[in-house]
Chain A
Amino acid sequence: MNNYINKIVDGKVSQINEGNNIREVGRVRKVQTYMVEVSGMTGAAYFDKVVIERPGKGEVAEGYVDRVERNGVMVALTNKYDELLIGDEAVGTGAAFSMQYSEDSIGHVIDMFGNDRLNNKRFTDLLEFPVESENTPIMERGEVKRPFHTGITGIDLMYPIGRGQRQLIIGDKKTGKTQILLDAIANQREENMLCIYCAVGKTKKEVKEIYADLLRRGAMNYTIIIAAFNDECPPTMRNTPYAAMTIAQHYMLTQARDVLICIDDLKRHADVCREIALLSGKVPGRDAYPPDIFYAHSRLLEKGCQHLNGGSITVLPVCETKGGDITDYISTNIISITDGQIVLSAKNFERGLKPAIDYGLSVSRLGGAVQTGTMKRTNAAMRRELLSYLETREVYELTNENELGQELQKKLKRGAEILSKLVQPKYSPRSEDRIVADFSELMK
């Protein structure tokens, strides 16, 4: 024991003599791209903000404590200004890693640190929030029953979305996933809805195009774009959706507002989480994703709700698939969290049936509960008929049409007609009245 303590004391004393205060300052010991092991920093708490400095050069990186280890901490970098060197100083700020947000952000492209990405300026009068805020408790939730209008017939009529619902948009590349989000945002002009578009791992060009599109349609007046671009540090990409959700919660809780939040996309987010987990040496699970990947998404999407105070957060997350397979691990995870999914099919897209919704695979778990009167009746009748048509069409594809029974022929004709009424060009929203009128003939 004696020797042991002597050794420790000697070690620490020589550190003091060298001028290192081991309580607050640590030294970079190992660098793995953006995951950094730091020795010392005894006082650092889990998720504290850390600044890495080099004497004579100033700040070289920022990050947060991802893990407190027995003899050091693991720091995930959120901003890297320069390559790190072994021996760089890590300084604990003593405060939790947080996000900054300014209420002037509406109409701008921002990041989670309070910067305006279009002109690279920092907002003034910033509010500081924890990145992840508390989930709305089960007893403070209300029922989801007020409709949310996207203006798209295939959604508003067949798979309606309610305020406070989480509806997944899922499909292959280039099937119009983002377009559905943009249509939905553009349709909120009259609705007093605050829209947040959260881009995760999108390119700067893509985001700029989305911004220009929304600006042209006057939709930026009530929209915030919060972006973590493709080339940013993965820990920033990982945290940005939570930050976007915190902004939404801020408006819901303090002003009881209805907020729409689009997250584009969660597959990329899952990949980022996987990258970070593997780099920090966590045990991999299915498809090498970390075992808590479900929780990473469930706690994010569970923040979507109808609050008892009247406000709501409607969430439209996006998930990209490969080869039209919606049964892979991440997709089924997210489907099992959300209140339904709009599945987009590449085949329909190629056939020109836009929006390319796959009516068989799409689901709304709330269904008619968020619709009123005529819409609800039209929905129940038309959806059943359409699904039955799609299935029958497949079975009888090779049968000579004239040999089919009268009833069957009529059914096929009506089905085709329903399908044709669901085709709709982009940015041409249809109101409930218009939709009801469109289908009134068929309802008779």
Chain B
Amino acid sequence: MNNENYKDIPEEELNIFSLDDDSVKEDLVKAFTGEEKEPEEVQAAVEEKAEAPAEAKAEKKAEAKAEKKAEPAPAKAVKAVKPGKKASESKAVTSGKKEGEPVGRIISVSDLKVEILLDKEVGNKDILVCECGGKEYRFEVTEMEGSIAITVPFDSVIGLRRGIDVFRIGGGLCVPYNDEIVGKIFNTYGQPLDDSKVESDAVRNVYDGNLAMDEIRIDADIMWTGIKVLDFLSPLRKGFKMGLLGGAGVGKTVLIKELIHNVYTNLNSNSVFIGCGERSREGRELYNEMVEGNLMDKITMVFGQMGENAMARSRSVTSGLTMAEYLRDEKNQDVLLFIDNIYRYVQANSEISAESGHLPIDNGYSTTMLSEISDVEERINSTENGAITSFQAIFIPADDLNDAAVHAVQQHLDGQVVLDRKVAEKGLYPAVNVFRTTSRLLDPEFVGERHARLAQEAVRYLSRYEELEEIVALIGIDELSLEDQSIFYRSRKLRNYFSQPMFVAEDFTGIPGQFVAIEDILNDVEDILTGVYDKKDESRFMYIGKARGYV
């Protein structure tokens, strides 16, 4: 260890085990554990050892450096040897081996932070491992301070104590990067959750994958989801980033499942589903539905659910993304990427950040929140090889649309659907707030003049309706002008029309799902707005597919 490193650390903070020479440590430990020695003896021993020649130290350092150099840089698709154990036994897939010599010792432990005093150099994002009480613990280096590495544990740290030797595993956190990922279900660390195995050794570090500007492709064809309100107000195309925002319990997950059902099943395109910080029950049910429907053949699932620690939740996004990149870059596929829920990624990161003692920005989010989101979102893009079309559910904490994390993610979206508790309260699902739902494509240039005009008109009607609703609550409908009355009634029909029976929600509604073509939607909206259905009762429009020929 380097002597200079001590300078910055107050003496009282250095533990007895920070002594670099093992034999000195042994002597001391013996001395303190009952095998009493005369103070002078210890003193002598210490002096003797402390005068270790400077050359020896220099040698040690050089050795460490050489070792570091010899380590292959985590390149794309490193073919490397896996740790001796079976994948299911080890905690994570990495491209490197556990090194024989310890790199340091643990000096402090808390929930999400373990500090390690280093004898050797380690790099940022390196994986360290130690054993204690028959259990293996893994950490990832996130910060360094002098000769102390601050690491985040992959799992619970119960039972971990000071002074334990820590070893390094080269290559950092990696996930399988080969054909075998398709049709499997993984945890954050790239291990299959079912009984299957990944035989191939091709893995890739989850942190690299940044795209240069010239690699990104921006033009593509429009694609339809068959969900009325989405296609009408928030159309999307390949390579699009669609956000599904909503508070707790207003139907984000149902909508994402419906999108999987409609888009994945119809396009039969390769997909990656990332379950980040959501319910294990839902993850399990989605998996069951996929298996029962024989739909697993083109989907890869990665789960870091809400019962797991912050590290597992946070890194599930980067792991899943790496697999999506494999399909795009190596297999030249168009990929659908479903993330449920990207907010949990931000949340997990703020848990880690807070535990490291960083000052929070508003509402306790991590200091580096904006750059963390950008790191991930900038990787979700289309290239000449293929498109990544992503659907990202975003939880709105405390129903606060102005939340800093929600804003930060919104900045990256091409379109968004906002789900609203006030709409859900009325029993209208999907509970879309039409005023906040937007898309970059809702423009005559992309969707045509008719669609854009109708959308504009519909929003105008509904916005007037909102105002009228308050007036009506005060004075009653009869007092409204005739024009306002017709806006009032037509808007209510329109609002009901945008509710839709979903394939995945048949259990709730008791009505089979409906896929509605865009032409039908445009016709129906036009009919409602022009008064074709003025004589019909509004409740006829609840939970139907297309209206023409039905109402």
Q: State the A residues within 8 Å of B (CB).
A: 1-2, 4-10, 12-13, 16-17, 21-23, 42-48, 66-71, 96, 130, 132, 135-139, 141-144, 164, 282-286, 289-292, 294-295, 298-299, 302-303, 305, 327-329, 331-333, 335-337, 339-341, 360-361, 363, 365-369, 376-377, 379-381, 383-384, 387-388, 391, 394-400, 403, 405, 407-408, 411
Q: Give me 15 other A-B pairs in contact (C-beta within 8 A), A6-B46, A365-B253, A376-B510 excluded.
A: A10-B43, A12-B31, A13-B43, A43-B161, A46-B157, A67-B108, A135-B280, A135-B307, A139-B284, A143-B284, A283-B360, A292-B112, A294-B347, A295-B309, A361-B421
**B110→A12 contact, CB < 8 A:** no
Chain B residues, Cβ within 8 Å of A137 = 193
**Docked complex Cα distance between A378 and B156 (Å):** 46
**Docked complex Cα distance between A135 and B303 (Å):** 14
Q: Does B60 contact A (CB under 8 A)?
A: no
Indicate which residue in B11, B279, B398 contacts A332 across the interface (CB closer than 8 Å): B398
Chain B residues, Cβ within 8 Å of A69 = 108
**A143→B28 contact, CB < 8 A:** no
**A283→B354 contact, CB < 8 A:** yes
**A291→B539 contact, CB < 8 A:** no
Chain A residues, Cβ within 8 Å of B6 = 4
Chain B residues, Cβ within 8 Å of A4 = 6, 11
Given A294-B347, A384-B542: A285 and B399 interface contact (C-beta under 8 Å): no
**B354→A298 contact, CB < 8 A:** no
The interface bits of chain B over 202-230 (1 if a CB of A lies within 8 angstroms of the residue's CB, else 0) are 00000000000000000000000000000
Closest to B29 in A: A23
**A1→B476 contact, CB < 8 A:** no
**A22→B32 contact, CB < 8 A:** yes
**B306→A332 contact, CB < 8 A:** no
**A303→B307 contact, CB < 8 A:** yes
Closest to A406 in B: B537
**A368→B510 contact, CB < 8 A:** yes
Separation in Å of the A295 CB from the closest CB of chain B?
Answer: 6
**Docked complex Cα distance between A21 and B277 (Å):** 44
**Docked complex Cα distance between A8 and B16 (Å):** 7
The interface bits of chain B over 1-32 (1 if a CB of A lies within 8 angstroms of the residue's CB, else 0) are 00100100001111111010000100010011
**Docked complex Cα distance between A361 and B50 (Å):** 71
**B307→A282 contact, CB < 8 A:** no
Q: Does B464 contact A (CB under 8 A)?
A: no
Chain A residues, Cβ within 8 Å of B354 = 282-283, 285, 290-292
Given A4-B6, A367-B508: A9 and B46 interface contact (C-beta under 8 Å): yes
**Docked complex Cα distance between A16 and B248 (Å):** 58
**Docked complex Cα distance between A349 and B175 (Å):** 54
Indicate which residue in A5, A365, A383, A403 contacts B24 across the interface (CB closer than 8 Å): A5
**Docked complex Cα distance between A217 and B441 (Å):** 63
Separation in Å of the A165 CB from the closest CB of chain B?
Answer: 8
Separation in Å of the A406 CB from the closest CB of chain B?
Answer: 10
The interface bits of chain B over 176-212 (1 if a CB of A lies within 8 angstroms of the residue's CB, else 0) are 0000000001000000011000000000000000000
The interface bits of chain B over 96-108 (1 if a CB of A lies within 8 angstroms of the residue's CB, else 0) are 0000000000011
With an 8 Å Cβ cutoff, the count of chain B residues facing the other chain is: 105
**B427→A71 contact, CB < 8 A:** no
Indicate which residue in A67, A285, A369 contacts B360 across the interface (CB closer than 8 Å): A285
Separation in Å of the B450 CB from the closest CB of chain A?
Answer: 32
Q: Does B507 contact A (CB under 8 A)?
A: yes
Which stretch, B318-326, B377-385, B467-475, B514-522, touches the partner chain A? Answer: B467-475
**A42→B163 contact, CB < 8 A:** yes
Indicate which residue in B158, B307, B355, B510 contacts A298 across the interface (CB closer than 8 Å): B307
Closest to A39 in B: B12
Closest to B107 in A: A70
Chain B residues, Cβ within 8 Å of A387 = 426-427
Closest to B52 in A: A1
**B32→A21 contact, CB < 8 A:** yes
Q: Does B395 contact A (CB under 8 A)?
A: yes
The interface bits of chain B over 279-306 (1 if a CB of A lies within 8 angstroms of the residue's CB, else 0) are 1110111011000000000000001011
Q: Does B477 contact A (CB under 8 A)?
A: yes
Closest to A165 in B: B281
**Docked complex Cα distance between A362 and B306 (Å):** 22
Indicate which residue in A67, A380, A394, A396 contacts B509 across the interface (CB closer than 8 Å): A380
**B32→A283 contact, CB < 8 A:** no
Q: State the B residues within 8 Å of A (CB).
A: 3, 6, 11-17, 19, 24, 28, 31-34, 36, 39, 42-43, 46-47, 50-51, 107-112, 115, 132-133, 156-163, 185, 193-194, 247-249, 253, 277, 279-281, 283-285, 287-288, 303, 305-310, 347, 350-351, 353-355, 357-360, 363-365, 395-399, 421, 424-427, 469, 472-478, 505, 507-511, 537, 539, 542-543
Closest to A360 in B: B425
Chain B residues, Cβ within 8 Å of A17 = 39
**B110→A283 contact, CB < 8 A:** no
Separation in Å of the A79 CB from the closest CB of chain B?
Answer: 20
**Docked complex Cα distance between A335 and B252 (Å):** 13
**B193→A139 contact, CB < 8 A:** yes
**Docked complex Cα distance between A305 and B284 (Å):** 11
Indicate which residue in A43, A286, A305 contacts B397 across the interface (CB closer than 8 Å): A286
Chain A residues, Cβ within 8 Å of B478 = 399-400, 403
Indicate which residue in B46, B357, B474 contacts A283 across the interface (CB closer than 8 Å): B357
Closest to B426 in A: A391
**Docked complex Cα distance between A403 and B478 (Å):** 10
Chain B residues, Cβ within 8 Å of A289 = 364
**B193→A396 contact, CB < 8 A:** no
**B507→A295 contact, CB < 8 A:** no
Chain A residues, Cβ within 8 Å of B247 = 327, 332
Chain B residues, Cβ within 8 Å of A139 = 185, 193-194, 284
Chain B residues, Cβ within 8 Å of A369 = 507
Chain A residues, Cβ within 8 Å of B424 = 363
Separation in Å of the B405 CB from the closest CB of chain A?
Answer: 10
Given A47-B159, A139-B193, A337-B279: A327 and B310 interface contact (C-beta under 8 Å): no
**A141→B281 contact, CB < 8 A:** yes
**A46→B350 contact, CB < 8 A:** no
Chain A residues, Cβ within 8 Å of B351 = 291-292, 295
**B425→A143 contact, CB < 8 A:** no
**Docked complex Cα distance between A232 and B351 (Å):** 28
**A367→B507 contact, CB < 8 A:** yes
Separation in Å of the A287 CB from the closest CB of chain B?
Answer: 8
Given A46-B110, A291-B364: A138 and B542 interface contact (C-beta under 8 Å): no
| List of 7 A-B pairs having minimum Cβ-Cβ separation, nearest first | A285-B364, A380-B510, A387-B427, A302-B307, A335-B248, A336-B248, A298-B306
Chain B residues, Cβ within 8 Å of A333 = 248, 397
**Docked complex Cα distance between A327 and B399 (Å):** 6
Indicate which residue in B39, B473, B542 contacts A394 across the interface (CB closer than 8 Å): B473
**A335→B249 contact, CB < 8 A:** yes
**Docked complex Cα distance between A92 and B364 (Å):** 34
Separation in Å of the A283 CB from the closest CB of chain B?
Answer: 4
Indicate which residue in A5, A335, A391 contacts B46 across the interface (CB closer than 8 Å): A5
Separation in Å of the A3 CB from the closest CB of chain B?
Answer: 9
Closest to B397 in A: A332
**B306→A337 contact, CB < 8 A:** yes
Chain A residues, Cβ within 8 Å of B16 = 8, 12, 22, 42
Chain B residues, Cβ within 8 Å of A292 = 111-112, 310, 351, 354-355
**B42→A9 contact, CB < 8 A:** yes
**A295→B306 contact, CB < 8 A:** yes
Closest to A42 in B: B162
**Docked complex Cα distance between A318 and B31 (Å):** 55
**Docked complex Cα distance between A326 and B414 (Å):** 31
Given A5-B19, A46-B109, A398-B476: A70 and B13 interface contact (C-beta under 8 Å): yes
**A68→B249 contact, CB < 8 A:** no
Indicate which residue in A71, A143, A305 contacts B12 across the interface (CB closer than 8 Å): A71
**A302→B280 contact, CB < 8 A:** yes
Chain A residues, Cβ within 8 Å of B542 = 384, 388
Separation in Å of the A212 CB from the closest CB of chain B?
Answer: 35
**Docked complex Cα distance between A363 and B421 (Å):** 11
**A12→B160 contact, CB < 8 A:** no
